């Protein structure tokens, strides 16, 4: 079997992101599900740490997509894991259900990439980078029901669920 060597800096970054996301969600659960008073939790540095960890995790998933052996299978697995999280949270805590989480996002992006990868290979990588940054800025507030470019423009988005 022909194995590529591991890229340890990517593994380390992924591991750090996972630890930060686990810590964030543990604190979120303590505050929002169990009523532990954590007045410092909302906003401020916690928001930026969560945003940085999630954004880095998503960017790493995109970067590492081309390094995998079977991206279609991996995309289906990650999307399926996201659907499982949605199902479990709908059953266990419907008022705080995760309808479209980071796993669903990454899995669906991997599946879309499987379809458009040949076309994307014709692009200049910098065009893709700029487009990715613009899409991030546009969709970063989607979880609070807005599409926006910061203070330049904002539009409320109706909630589906």
Residue 67: pLDDT band by 50, 70, 90 thresholds? confident
Q: Which residues contact 78 (CB under 8 A, 6 or more apart)?
A: 61, 103, 106, 107, 110
Residue predicted with more confidence, 76 or 160: 76
At 161 the pLDDT is 44
Q: What is the tens place of the pLDDT at every residue in 78-121?
A: 999 999 999 999 999 898 888 888 899 999 999 999 999 888 88
Tokens of 76: 């289906």
Residue predicted with more confidence, 42 or 113: 113
Residue predicted with more confidence, 138 or 94: 94
């Amino acid at each position: 079997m022909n194995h590529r060597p591991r890229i340890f800096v990517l593994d380390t970054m992924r591991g750090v992101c996972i630890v930060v996301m686990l810590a964030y969600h543990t604190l979120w659960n303590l505050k929002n599900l169990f009523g532990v008073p954590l007045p410092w939790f909302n906003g401020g540095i916690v928001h930026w740490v969560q945003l940085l960890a999630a954004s880095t995790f998503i960017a790493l998933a995109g970067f590492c997509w081309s390094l995998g052996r079977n991206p279609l299978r991996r995309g289906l697995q990650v999307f399926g894991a996201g659907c499982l999280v949605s199902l479990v949270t709908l059953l266990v805590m419907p008022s705080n259900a995760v309808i479209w989480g980071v796993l669903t996002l990454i899995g669906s992006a991997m599946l879309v990439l499987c379809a458009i990868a040949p076309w994307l290979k014709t692009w200049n990588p910098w065009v893709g980078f700029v487009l990715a940054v613009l899409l991030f800025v546009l969709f970063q507030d989607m979880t609070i029901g807005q599409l926006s470019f910061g203070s330049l423009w904002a539009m409320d988005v109706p909630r589906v669920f």
